[in-house]
Amino acid sequence: MKKLSALVAAAVFCCGYVRAQNPLIHDQYTADPSARVFGDSIYVYPSHDIHWAPGVGRPNWFNMEDYHVFSSPDGVAWTDHGMVISQKTVPWVDSSSYSMWAPDCVFRNGKYYLYFPSRPKDTSAGKHFGIGVAIGDHPGGPFVPQAEPIRGVAGIDPNVFIDKNGQAYLYWAEGNLYAARLREDMLGLASEPVVLSQLPAKGLKEGPWVFERKGVYYLTYPHVAAKTERLEYAVGDNPLGPFQFKGVIMDESPTGCWTNHHSVVSFKGQWYLFYHHNDLSPDFDKNRSIRADSLFLRRMGVSERLCRR
């Protein structure tokens, strides 16, 4: 058995002799990290958990009113680019919902497109989460939100994958995982949504993240197979599936954090898994903190497995 790597991912970003420590951000809660490489830096687009208080959100639940963006040239020193979107400034969002959940950001045609879910002002059609887009000239913002959410999409956890041929795809979650082609302008769907139904049927799946390596499309996602979310992956030869379940990248949180939301990115020759636990809030798992570990592909007989160690 030839191992592609035998190293254990004990710490993050082994750049030179410097090692960053998990969690990555200490002065605020951060969750749902979507990591992207833009230029020479890695950018992370997380959710921003805050404490509940009277008039601020809902007790014992996720409370998120805005997004901050973070970047780093080495994974060690992180710059907070400040608040880039607030629930108060998105025309279609219920500004008292504190529901600015997991976002993602991609670069296309000279612009940065930030995708984010939130509760719409109008929920009369039973749509409790819409997904919107905001456009910026810089990965650190500011971003200008579109007036309306994406038509035909209800759900959370947007992820955008742009294939080598330039076709962009939107993935999202609503109990199940969904996918559709995006239009060239990145602001609307170009195909009917499909359910990625070939995955384990039982247990909540959310937080899809798709990437491609050597012609193989990897779909990675949190799944509640037992008590809390673990990170699994499946592979396919088409961005719209079918995807075949392959295994577990990361087991349930040792600290009991019910959610785990992740992204996978290659930066300066190393693959990384970004995810969250609740390191800074051990007694309340909805005030979370982002982390990152190295990620490896190991050869197992004739096939390859995605492993954290």
Residues in touch with ligand FUB (CB under 6 A): 31-32, 47, 62, 101-102, 156-157, 206-207, 259, 261
Using CA atoms, how far residue 109 sits from 105, 112, 189, 211, in Å, is 13, 8, 17, 20
Using CA atoms, how far residue 138 sits from 38, 54, 135, 188, 200, in Å, is 10, 36, 9, 22, 39
What sign does the CA torsion over 234, 236, 239, 240 have? negative
Residue that has been written with the tokens 């004739």 in this structure: 302
Whichever of 285 and 296 has its CB closer to ligand FUB, that residue is: 285
Q: Which of the residues 104, 206, 232, 293 is marked catalytic?
A: 206
Please give the Cα distance from 153 to 42 (Å, whole number). Answer: 29
CB neighbour list of residue 285: distance below 8 Å, 6 or more residues apart: 255, 256, 257, 258, 259, 278
Please give the Cα distance from 76 to 267 (Å, whole number). Answer: 13
Whichever of 285 and 293 has its CB closer to ligand FUB, that residue is: 285
Q: For the chain, first and last CA: distance in Å?
A: 16
Please give the Cα distance from 113 to 136 (Å, whole number). Answer: 7
Cβ 228 to ligand FUB, closest distance in Å? 11
Whichever of 114 and 296 has its CB closer to ligand FUB, that residue is: 114
Q: Which of the residues 32, 65, 104, 232 is marked catalytic?
A: 32
Is 251 known to be catalytic? no
Whichever of 10 and 204 has its CB closer to ligand FUB, that residue is: 204
Whichever of 72 and 99 has its CB closer to ligand FUB, that residue is: 99
Cβ 102 to ligand FUB, closest distance in Å? 4
Please give the Cα distance from 225 to 264 (Å, whole number). Answer: 21
Is 40 known to be catalytic? no
On whether the CB atoms of residues 228 and 253 are closer than 8 A, the answer is yes
Cβ 291 to ligand FUB, closest distance in Å? 13
Cβ 29 to ligand FUB, closest distance in Å? 10
Cβ 206 to ligand FUB, closest distance in Å? 5
Q: Give me the active site residues, please.
A: 32, 206
